[in-house]
Structures are given as structure tokens and as C-alpha cells.
């Protein structure tokens, strides 16, 4: 059955938004940097939030907002992952959850493995939790990127106490295989280390690739792991503050139950309401339409770059709406986003912020109208020809 791709909102409406994407730069700049998308909310989310506003339902988040059952239902429908609702806890956002879990599983000064190029807050999060970043870059292959298992093993053998995994990986859009996740879990268990998996882009995985939650990869993964995720990236809810933390087993469940009560209280009521609505079956059709639109855009971007910026290197992601593009062949310096913003008036995310491996790279958000994506790449192309 064919799915009708979701249509992005018109540019004049988007410029009325007050979020970071539409307020950081002036109207002469096309914004493709931060991970916000340009679509109307899923109807069920709009309905729930509108009703809350009508009721003045703007107080404190209740002790049980329904998040755990909604997430468990979503995980079963989308991934065949059976989650015990009692293993699901909530907080304000994914990075809050990661920090609090790391504080439980490491001691100050312990090293935590991260896999650059990776989402910039990973570095700050490890430090906020009292840890020290240990870089084990992704292994580059002909097919894309993969976890460097020998590198992780060496880091853990050398004393690192935890691994902060990005699954699917931001910025490359890599969806890690069940085999690599299971192997990572076995290595972590051998050295008594913990794996914390950020899975916020999981719902945005494109067929035929299958997203494998870390905790569903193997028994060892459940023994060593936590997952932290949210509907916020998929459903564009970052401003509403709600994420879930999932325990792999009894030890992790006890650790999450022992977190300070304030960790749960950081969850916004609108965040909880919207996450429940997003995870409900009523939002599945909208998600299918979103995936159809993003799938078309990730392939369109490849065509546009080949036509207008032919020396760029880009592998369409297996998940997400973020493109990792190597512009180093143009000699625009380690941070080409600076030149692109100044001379083409297109705002891209700065590659070096993702780690040293990001030199010469940019990250492009293609969660937008195809015509807007075309205009942005044409502007960059004009710069490339100049």
C-alpha cells in the first residue's frame, strides 16, 4: 500500500515559529542546522495539547502520566520489542537521562567511551556526570560506519567503565546491526562495564533496514544496558521535555528507582501528554507519512549534491533526517559551515563540533520541503562554482 508523504509547512508559516531553528538567524538565511523538522504536529498530539490548553491543564506532571505503557506499546508494534512497563522511567530529555544514569554507574574520573563523530552534547554529558571522555571513533568502511569493537575492547581493558552508544548514530545515520550490538554487550560484560544507549532516532529507520534496540540485541545487552529515548526527534517535541529511561534488568531497574525524585519531576506535563499521544496507535499513520517524506528527501539530497556540489561525499543515512556531508574537497577549511553561512546564507551544523573526525564536514537537516532543500543546495553549489 502506497503512503502519501507528509507535506512540510509553507516557509511563511515556519518563519512565524519562535524556536531556535527560526530565530537564531535572520530571514536571509535558510536554516538547516538544528534538529527541528518543518511539519505540522501529528493530529493526535495537536488534539491532546489543544484540549489541555482549553482545560488550563498546565500544572504538575502526575505520578503516572501513562508514558511507560505508551512506550511499551510502541516498542512492541514498531520493533517487536517486549518491554516490561515497570522497566520504564521518565525525565526531561535524553541527555538528562544519560547524565543521571552515568552518575549511577561511574565514579568521578572514570573514563566513558564515546564514538566520534558523534552528537556534540555527548562530550559535555560525560563531563557533567564526572567522567572523562575516551574517544573510540567509528570504523569507516566501504558500506558506511560501524562500531570499532577492538577499539572499545582496548578502552575497556584499559579501565574505561562505561560506553555511551548512539543507536542509530548521529550524525552518520548508521543503524547498528544486531551482531555488532551483541558483540559490544559481550565485551562490556567481560569487563564489568555499562552501556548506555541513546536511541532517540530509532523510530526514523528506513526500510529495509531494521532498527534493533540495544536491550533487544541479546541477553548480555539486557544485563549490562540502559536505553534512553524520546518521541521528541521523530515528532518534533523537543521543547516539551519528556524522555524515557529503560532498564535492561533487575540491577538497572533498582538503579533507576533510586534516582532522586527530582529527575522524574523535570518531565513537563505537556511533554508527557505529547509523548503518550506520539506513541499511541493513532499516530502510526502520521509517522508512516513522515518516513515517506524523509526517505524521499534523503535520496533527493544525494541527487542535488551530485548535480550542484559534485565533489561532496555523502552516504544517505539508514535512519533520521540528518545528513553527514564531507565538503573537504572544496578547501573551505576545517569548518566549512562558516563559509557556507557567510557566503551562501545557508546555516549548517558545524562538523568539528562532532569531534576531530568532523573536520571538513557539515551536518544538513533534510526534514523540510523538497523545494527548500533544493534552494539550499543550489546556493551551496553556486559557492562551489565561484
User: Quick check: 216 pLDDT over 70?
Assistant: yes
Contact 248, 226 (CB under 8 A): yes
User: Quick check: 1 pLDDT over 80?
Assistant: no
- pLDDT above 70 covers a percentage of the chain that reads 100
User: Quick check: 212 pLDDT over 90?
Assistant: yes
pLDDT of residue 143: 83
Cut 0.95: pTM above it: yes
**322-326 β-sheet, strand order:** 30-32, 346-350, 361-365, 322-326, 313-314
Contact 181, 139 (CB under 8 A): no
What does the pLDDT average to over 120-146? Answer: 96
Report the mean per-residue pLDDT for the chain: 97
- Banded model confidence at residue 386, pLDDT cuts 50, 70, 90: confident
User: Quick check: 35 pLDDT over 80?
Assistant: yes
What does the pLDDT average to over 209-223? Answer: 98
- Banded model confidence at residue 46, pLDDT cuts 50, 70, 90: very high
Contact 301, 366 (CB under 8 A): yes
- pLDDT above 90 covers a percentage of the chain that reads 98
pLDDT of residue 142: 80
Contact 86, 253 (CB under 8 A): yes
The total of other beta-carbon atoms located within 10 Å of residue 213's CB is 23
| pLDDT digit string, tens, across residues 286-317 | 999 999 999 999 999 999 999 999 999 999 99
| pLDDT digit string, tens, across residues 314-342 | 999 999 999 999 999 999 999 999 999 99
- Give the DSSP letter string of 56-83: T--SPPPS--SHHHHHHHHHHHHH----
Contact 162, 106 (CB under 8 A): yes
Contact 203, 78 (CB under 8 A): yes
Distance CA 255, CA 243 (A): 17
Helix axes 94-105 and 121-128, enclosed angle (nearest 10): 40
Amino acid at each position: 500500500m502506497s503512503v502519501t508523504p507528509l507535506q512540510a509547512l509553507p516557509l511563511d508559516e515556519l518563519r512565524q515559529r519562535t524556536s531556535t531553528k527560526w530565530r537564531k538567524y535572520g530571514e536571509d538565511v535558510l536554516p538547516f542546522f538544528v534538529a527541528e523538522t518543518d511539519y505540522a504536529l501529528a493530529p493526535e498530539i495537536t488534539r491532546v495539547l489543544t484540549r489541555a490548553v482549553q482545560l488550563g491543564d498546565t500544572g504538575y506532571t502526575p505520578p503516572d502520566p501513562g508514558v511507560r505503557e505508551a512506550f511499551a506499546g510502541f516498542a512492541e508494534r514498531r520493533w517487536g520489542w517486549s518491554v516490561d512497563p515497570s522497566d520504564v522511567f521518565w525525565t526531561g530529555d535524553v541527555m538528562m537521562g544519560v547524565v543521571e544514569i552515568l552518575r549511577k554507574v561511574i565514579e568521578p574520573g572514570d573514563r566513558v567511551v564515546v564514538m566520534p563523530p558523534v552528537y556534540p552534547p555527548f562530550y559535555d554529558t560525560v563531563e557533567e556526570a564526572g567522567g572523562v571522555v575516551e574517544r573510540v571513533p567509528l570504523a569507516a568502511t566501504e558500506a558506511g560506519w560501524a562500531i570499532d569493537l577492538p577499539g572499545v575492547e582496548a578502552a575497556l581493558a584499559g579501565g574505561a567503565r562505561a560506553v555511551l552508544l548512539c543507536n542509530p548514530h548521529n550524525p552518520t545515520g548508521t543503524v547498528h546491526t544486531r551482531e555488532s550490538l551483541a558483540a559490544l554487550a559481550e565485551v562490556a560484560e567481560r569487563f564489568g562495564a555499562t552501556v548506555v544507549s541513546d536511541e532517540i532516532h530509532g523510530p526514523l529507520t528506513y526500510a529495509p533496514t531494521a532498527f534493533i534496540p540495544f536491550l533487544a540485541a541479546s541477553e548480555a545487552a539486557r544485563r549490562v544496558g540502559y536505553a534512553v529515548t524520546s518521541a521528541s526527534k521523530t515528532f518534533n517535541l523537543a521543547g516539551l521535555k519528556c524522555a524515557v529511561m529503560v532498564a535492561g534488568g533487575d540491577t538497572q531497574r533498582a538503579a533507576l528507582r533510586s534516582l532522586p525524585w527530582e529527575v522524574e519531576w523535570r518531565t513537563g506535563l505537556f511533554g508527557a501528554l505529547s509523548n503518550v499521544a506520539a506513541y499511541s496507535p493513532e499516530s502510526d499513520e502520521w509517522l508512516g507519512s513522515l518516513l515517506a517524506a524523509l526517505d524521499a528527501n534523503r535520496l533527493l539530497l544525494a541527487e542535488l549534491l551530485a548535480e550542484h556540489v559534485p565533489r561532496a561525499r555523502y552516504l544517505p543515512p539508514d535512519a533520521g533526517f540528518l545528513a553527514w556531508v564531507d565538503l573537504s574537497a572544496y578547501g573551505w577549511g576545517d569548518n566549512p559551515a562558516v563559509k557556507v553561512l557567510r557566503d551562501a546564507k545557508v546555516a549548517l551544523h558545524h562538523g568539528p563540533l562532532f569531534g576531530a573526525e568532523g573536520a571538513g564536514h557539515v551536518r544538513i537537516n533534510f526534514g523540510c520541503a523538497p523545494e527548500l532543500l533544493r534552494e539550499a543546495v543550489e546556493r551551496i553549489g553556486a559557492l562551489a562554482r565561484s
